[in-house]
Structure 1
Amino acid sequence: MTNRTRAVVVGASMAGLFAAAALADSFDEVTVIERDVLVGPVDRRGVPQGKHLHGLQAGGLRSLSDLFPGFEDDLANAGAVRTDVQSDIHWYLDGCLVKPEPSGLIGYASSRRLLEHIVRTRVRALPRVHIRDGWDVLDLTTTADRRTVTGVRLSRRADGAAATEVRADLVVDASGRASRSPQWVTELGFAAPEVTRVQVDITYVTRQYRREQHHLDGRVGTSVGVFPGSLHGGTLLAMEDNTFMFTAGAVYGQEPPMNDADLPAYVEGFASRDFADFLKTAEQITEPVRTRFPASIRAHYEHLADFPEGYLVVGDAVCSFNPVYGQGMSVAAAEAVLLRDLLRADRARLAERFFAGATEIIDIPWAITVNADLRFPEAGAPPTEEAKQFNAYLRHVYQAASTDADVGAALLRVIQLVDAPDRLLEPTLVERVMRALPGT
């Protein structure tokens, strides 16, 4: 038993569950510590945004299918709605509708609670993983020189019993935006990571409705994105159990209505009539819920010259994206695949290698998010000249995508984290974009 290896994951978030699956490939025991009590597919306190729309991008679905073979079958069997991302959903980008034709780019729509339940069920089924819910992680334990993390100290939330220690060869922090890793590493004598913060000041309000055959002419959804000069948007998306979820969002101090009576007037300003037409006949089944999201935050662990042995940070604890773009879960899934593959090679310099690899994963969605958000004068930080040029070109791409389905498919593959943005700059695609523009 003394030769057995153990990893501890702090937080049964999506990132924590993904990490646990990755660790189970290389450790004899994996213990996930979660403060919430986990019961079935229900919304939970530790995920305040859980009642709102969540997006698992096509790229994220591929990562999860790698971590959990047969994962798409799990989604389908649980009632998630299979969709061709381009033909089954109408995407309005800067007011332009991406031409809705079949693309073969497949996604699944479901509530956060169902998706998390499916993942948690798969993780619980792994023989090496054990989830301890209802526990708080108090702090890290280390060697005498404080150079190596050796485990965590816990206390049970229900009774406040005396703290107990769980020893580990590796501790992974997946506790999200509330991560205490910067505090913990500085207490051990290491430098805290630099942080980049991009203000977005989003407020989003969500309601659920019954789904009927005639809604959206049978399509799965419609999404209207915000853009400079239009600070309001929303997404209407089919879910499990014949329901629709409608999340309305607004940025930089604007707010969607909490009063149901004001909602029809609010959606009249959208680029699509789908929302207004839907609300005329839809049966609302939940009260509105509201969440505010102040800023995208990225902690640059990759810049640290020194870091504790036996410790990693993943998911939103490293980078928390503007939720409008639906990138967080997909990035966390890709990080888990990276972690699994690094551990299969060896454990030497794990933190250095992981943070370097995670940076490559994060850079693309971060650039997509930040370049889009810094277009708004309200952001208070001008984009770089390179970003300005790319954003100007993107406006042409949006226009071209409204008439050329192949351009639309290429654009959505980038947004869905399947292809890198460089795909949009390939000469053949640039030629299609310019040819599709009015007057050319």
Structure 2
Amino acid sequence: MQTEVGQRAVVLGAGIGGLFAARILADEFAEVVLVDRDRVTGARTPRRGVPQGQHSHALQARGLRIAEDLFPGLVDAMAADGAGIGDVLENVSWIVNGRPLSRPASRLTAVTASRPFLERHLRERVAELPNVTFREGHNVLGLDTTPDRTRVTGVRLLPGDGRDEEETLTAAVVVDATGRASRIPAWLQELGYPQVDEERLNIGLGYTSQHFRIPGELPDGNIAINDVASRELPRGAALGRIDGDRIIVTGYGILGDHPPTESAGFLRFIRSLSKPDIYQVIKHAEPLDEPVRYRFPTSLRRYYERMDRFPDGLVVLGDAVCSFNPVYAQGMTVAALSALVLRRHLRSHGPLRPSAYFRDLAREVTDATWGLMTVSDLRFPGVEGPRPLRTRVLQAYTRHVQAAATRDGEVAGAYMRVVGLLERPDALRRPRIVLRVLRHALGLRASA
């Protein structure tokens, strides 16, 4: 998309999704403004606008590759600043259905760091771009449009410092990256547009996190341990060595089976998991704070691609489009993938067409990821939702894949490439992988 001098893009939300969007927009617009109600510059601790910031976060392998492509040297910079860096299989212990996965070298990078740390490193790189500025401490009151309401021309802002001075910030393009609490659906209805179709899946997730300090390194060369909830035991936990020479442990449970928020109860919850690995690390560790809980009752998808009318000059990405079970740690990577879709549409000939962007976003990113996560959540009998034959077959086959991955390094690698969003789920149904999975299911040794 060719832009003229003076054209401005505005990004609502300066979190992970907004930062990826700003980096993309900076190549196409003379000016990019990131608007956030928090004071974000220099923030090193969880901020009010990101209540989940005290809990475990991860960029999947695909997200890290995108981040490194957009911000060369980012991974090395995070490692030098204290993040854990390793191989997704060699240096991360995965316990799935109560059994550890095989641990060959996957050649996929894993980074363990706190959410504020990840956000700060991305934000500092974005802030270095000469045409990007931050409008901090501002509330967004609504959209500004042309008289016929067919094009968004900016946003109306109100400073959060108590001054009653509304301001209109004009823009050629407005990108909403404010997360699942996005007000775009309500604002569209106020402008006379139809209601956005939504789908919700009640998973009743609750998770609790606590930080610790331990002497020395984690066992077995690990930077993280993930004990994944299963159909038989719908609770799990993730442990990671993060910045500040700390350990973060996030325990979680489905459908109300939530970890306690007092230290002794939290430790008992961790001890109840399928394997004692995480418990053994923290049972004598030094607690650095009290456990903190976060609730995530429902996964949510908004089907903007189904709308027959949508104003020009406005797009939505990240959790504002699709927000699913955070246990799978896909959200930040999906935001990065969404930014790449936006970049391609900005660079196409002619004006940005939101309807085409939303169709491609669904086809290339959201459909597969939402489908994968929904099928996974429907493993738990108490999660309400349709389970057609195809879903049940996929669940059964995935369980065989996971079982094979405990003994077969090639299957484990293929499985992690799908989890890391480097490949679509149907990659696990390629003939070579299917054959290896079936051999293990039948008790036969898979050939090399």
Pick the TM interval, shorter chain.
over 0.9
Q: 1:398 matched to which residue of 2?
A: 402
Q: 2:201 aligns with which of 198, 202, 212?
A: 198
Distance, in Å, in 1 between the alignment partners of 2:377 and 2:188 is: 31
Match of residue 365, structure 1, among 369, 372, 384: 369
For the residues of structure 2 that align with 1:3 and 1:204, how far apart are their CA atoms?
47
SS at match of 1:254: coil
Instruction: Kindly report which structure 2 residues correspond to 1:112-123, keeping only aligned pairs within 5 A, or say none.
Output: 112-123=115-126
CA drift at 1:347: 4.6
Aligned residues: 440
Counterpart residue number, 1:437: 441
- 2:36 aligned to 27, 31, 34, which one? 34
Q: Equivalent residue of 1:12, what SS?
A: coil
2:198 maps to 1:177: no
- More deviation, 399-408/67-76: 67-76
Cα distance per residue 1:128-154 (max 9 Å; x no partner):
111110000101111111111110111
RMSD: 1.6
Whole-Å separation in 1 of the counterparts to 2:406 and 2:434 = 15
Q: Secondary structure at the match of 2:51?
A: coil
Residue number among 65, 90, 95 corresponding to 1:92 in the alignment: 95
1:342 Cα deviation after fit = 1.6
- Residue 341 of structure 1 is matched in structure 2 by 344
Question: Which residues of 2 match residues 106-117 of structure 1 at below 5 A?
Answer: 106-117=109-120
- Confirm whether residue 423 of structure 1 aligns to residue 427 of structure 2: yes
Over residues 365-415 of structure 1, what are the superposed CA-to-partner deviations in whole Å (9 max), with x where a residue is unaligned? Answer: 211110011122211113221111011011111111111111111101100
User: Any idea what SS the aligned residue of 1:249 has?
Assistant: strand
- How many angstroms apart in 1 are the aligned matches of 2:19 and 2:124? 10
Q: 8 Å contact 2:324–2:373 — kept in the other structure?
A: yes
Q: Secondary structure at the match of 1:424?
A: helix
Q: Which of 128, 131, 138 is the matching residue for 2:131?
A: 128
Does the aligned pair in 1 maintain the 2:237–2:252 contact within 8 Å? yes
**1:284-323 CA-partner distances (Å, limit 9, x unpaired):** 1121111000111000001111100111111111111110
TM-score (norm 2): 0.95
Match of 1:213 in 2: 216
* Matched-pair identity in %: 40
In structure 2, how many angstroms separate the alpha carbons of the residues matched to 1:212 and 1:354? Answer: 50
Matched with 1:20 is 22
Local SS of the residue matching 2:116: helix
Residue aligning to 1:222: 225
1:246 aligns with 249
Q: 1:385 to 1:2 in 2, by over 3 A?
A: closer
CA distance in 2, matches of 1:275, 1:111: 18
Contact 1:96 1:398 survives alignment (8 Å)? no
Query: Residues 149-191 of structure 1: CA distance to partner in whole angstroms, max 9, x if unpaired?
Result: 1101111011232201111111111111111100111111111
Shift of the 382–228 alpha-carbon distance from structure 1 to 2, 3 Å rule, reads farther
Aligned position for 1:411: 415
CA contact (8 A) 2:266 2:291 kept: no
TM-score, normalising length: structure 1: 0.97
Q: Sort the Cα spacing of 1:347 and 1:114 in 2 relative to 1 into closer, same or farther, 3 A.
A: farther
In the alignment, the residues of structure 1 paired with residue 61 and residue 345 of structure 2 have an alpha-carbon distance, to the nearest angstrom, of 23
The answer to whether the Cα contact below 8 Å between 1:216 and 1:274 also exists between their aligned partners in 2 is no
Query: Can you list the C-alpha shifts for 1:313-357, whole angstroms capped at 9, x where unaligned?
Result: 111111111100000000001111221222122353520221112
**For 1:406 and 1:172, how far apart are their aligned partners in 2?**
40
Is the CA contact (8 Å cut-off) linking 1:375 and 1:382 kept in structure 2?
Answer: no
Displacement of 1:241 after TM fit? 2.2
More displaced stretch, 348-357 vs 319-328: 348-357
Cα distance between partner residues in 1 of 2:217 and 2:11: 45
Write the distance in 2 (CA, Å) between the matches of 1:92 and 1:3: 54
Aligned to 1:332: 335
Gaps of 5+ in 1: none
State the distance in 2 between where 1:60 and 1:2 align: 31
Q: Is residue 2:11 matched to residue 1:9?
A: yes
Paired residue type of 2:291: P
Deviates more, 1:91-100 or 1:135-144: 91-100
Q: Structure 1: which amino acid aligns with 2:289?
A: T
The answer to whether the 8 A contact 1:396-1:437 is kept is yes
- Checking the alignment, whether the CA contact within 8 Å between 2:87 and 2:106 is kept in structure 1 is yes
